[in-house]
């Protein structure tokens, strides 16, 4: 009997491909709590409570060196974090769908009248959740068993391994639209985009610039009136997409430009 080597080759190739897919799926570790992260070195995990995909942010630097850019904004070039040698961060901003799951699972008193405004800016479950205060973001994180990032963690992650660059993707403003959704009034739509649709930064994080501002743990100043927001939003201009750009708002404020994402690792001191 004459062997059909072409068919045999295709069959063997299919076996290899199926094995590769199964091996890739096996790498997706499902985590239910921060304690389970001890000893975990997987680059990607899935957080059980809210189904979020998370990526490992590499070891933080051993010390913190703060410098300032030309307009006096602080730039954290190296970071010391009390706690884990690395953290896991949501690859995307928390979505409308995830936040609704949180509300259905709890008796958290979210203002139902805000949904009309939410849907005007983020019309589907895959768009980033907006009109969330800092307290709302905190409540979601606590329900999920995660926390908000510190400002230093956020900037370290946003830079994606790059050092001294203007934006999460580098210095070239001309390619900003490939990585960030911003100044959307020009396209006549004036709203957010579904999360994860543009290019990620070097750590695999999407929308670290644009789409929605993201709440951080920290107070903005010593008077402790405002909480920090980072990343720029769908209404901002390119200058506000810089990795060093800082903004802030009253923690009780909720508007159509503010959202958040979560991190996990052994808890650090609240800022």
pLDDT digits (tens, 9 = 90+) for 18-57: 454 444 444 679 999 998 988 888 999 999 999 999 999 9
pLDDT of 55 reads 96
61's tokens: 């630097």
Element (H, E) at 142: helix 134-144
Rg (CA), the chain: 20
Q: What is the length of the chain?
A: 271
Mean pLDDT, the chain, rounded, equals: 85
Q: Give the confidence band of 189 by pLDDT, cuts at 50, 70, 90.
A: confident
Which residue from 123, 131, 133, 49 is spatially nearest to 90, judged by alpha carbons? Answer: 49
Euclidean distance between CA atoms 142 and 50, whole angstroms: 11
Containing 219, the helix (H) or strand (E) segment is: strand 213-219
Query: Looking at the predicted structure, is the pLDDT value of residue 58 above 90?
Result: no
Q: E strand or H helix at 123, and its extent? A: none
> Which domains are delineated in the chain?
30-264 (3.90.1580.10)
pLDDT at 258: 98
d(CA 93, CA 99): 11
pLDDT over 90 at 83, yes or no = no
β-strand pairing of 44-47 with 29-31: parallel
User: For residue 85, what pLDDT is reported?
Assistant: 62
The helix (run of H) or strand (run of E) holding residue 3 is: none
| Encoded tokens for 253 | 């404020």
| Rounded-to-integer distance, Cα 242 and Cα 129, Å | 22
**How large is the average pLDDT for residues 65-81?**
58
Whole-number Å distance between alpha carbons of 213 and 51: 22
Q: Please report where in the chains the tokens 């402790």 appear, as a residue.
A: 224
The mean-pLDDT minimum among 14-18, 76-80, 149-153, 247-251 falls in: 14-18
Q: 258-259 and 29-31 as β-strands: parallel, antiparallel, unpaired? A: unpaired
Whole-number Å distance between alpha carbons of 27 and 223: 45
CA 75, CA 66: separation in Å to the nearest integer? 6
Query: Closest Cα partner for 200 from 243, 239, 168?
Result: 168
Q: Quick one: pLDDT at residue 67?
A: 59
d(CA 203, CA 263): 14
């Amino acid at each position: 009997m004459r062997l059909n080597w072409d068919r045999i080759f295709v069959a063997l190739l299919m076996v290899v491909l199926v094995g590769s897919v199964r091996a890739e799926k096996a790498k997706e570790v499902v985590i239910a709590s921060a304690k389970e992260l001890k000893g975990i070195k997987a680059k990607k995990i899935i957080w059980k409570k809210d189904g979020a995909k998370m990526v490992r942010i590499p070891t933080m630097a051993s010390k913190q060196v703060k410098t300032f850019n030309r307009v006096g904004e602080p730039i954290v070039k190296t970071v010391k974090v009390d706690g884990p040698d690395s953290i896991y961060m949501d690859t995307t901003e928390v979505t409308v769908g995830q936040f609704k799951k949180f509300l259905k699972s709890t008796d958290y008193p979210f203002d139902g009248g805000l949904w009309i405004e939410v849907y005007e800016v983020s019309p589907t479950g895959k768009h980033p959740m907006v009109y969330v205060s800092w307290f709302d973001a905190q409540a979601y994180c606590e329900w999920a068993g995660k926390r908000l990032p510190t400002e230093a963690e956020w900037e370290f992650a946003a830079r994606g391994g790059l050092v001294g660059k203007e934006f999460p993707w580098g210095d070239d403003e001309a390619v900003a639209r490939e990585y960030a959704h911003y100044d959307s009034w020009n396209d006549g739509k004036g709203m957010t985009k579904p999360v994860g649709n543009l290019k990620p930064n070097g750590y695999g994080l999407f929308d670290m610039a644009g789409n929605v501002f993201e709440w951080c743990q920290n107070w903005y100043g010593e008077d402790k009136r405002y909480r920090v927001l980072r990343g720029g939003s769908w209404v901002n201009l390119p200058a506000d997409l810089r990795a060093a750009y800082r903004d802030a708002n009253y923690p009780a404020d909720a508007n159509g430009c503010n959202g958040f994402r979560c991190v996990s690792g052994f808890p650090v001191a609240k800022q």
